[in-house]
Amino acid sequence: MSPPDHFERLGVPRRFVLDQDDIDKQYLARSRALHPDFHQLGASSERQASMELTAQLNEAYATLKDPFRRAEYLLQLEGGPPPGSSSQIPPEFLEEVLEWRLRWAEAADDSERARLERQLRERQDEMMRNISEDFSELERGAQRDATLQRLRQRLDALKYIQNLLRRR
């Protein structure tokens, strides 16, 4: 029997679209049950197991609460290509990223930078919606290999937008 994945650890369905409140609720319930403080009087092995399970639960929560990390993890579980393995990022997207960088460098003031940041966040949201749609297609039995490859390319491209937002 294989060890539980992050979805099983939190008791949520294995899919991309998840309710954040449900993730939080499941995490808190499981965290209370596993927390080492509740096992202080137990045997050393029980305390150690509690600490290990709590660490695994924390990792599951950190991964699944973040949509990008959840997408990366789910793609891995689905047998998709690993990060950076896509054939290439489309040249027109790379041109778009270059344009964003130039616009940012040339921004005259804080209000213009704030406007650019809002636009970048909108672009990020649009890309996440596309990723969500791809995962939905995968659940419906779409062409598996093509969809997994497209997901990898979209996630790799999204990293560019996230990096732009971090560098602001």
pTM, entire model = 0.86
Which domains are seen in the chain, by residue range?
6-65 (1.10.287.110), 91-167 (1.20.1280)
Give the mean model confidence (pLDDT) for residues 104-123: 92
User: 147 vs 40, 75, 137, CA distance in Å?
Assistant: 48, 10, 8
pLDDT digit string (tens) for 28-84?
999 887 766 655 555 566 667 667 888 899 999 999 999 999 999 999 999 999 887
Give the mean model confidence (pLDDT) for residues 146-156: 93
Q: Is 158 helix (H, G, I), strand (E, B) or coil?
A: helix
Which are the contacts of 159, defined by CB distance < 8 A and separation ≥ 6? 83
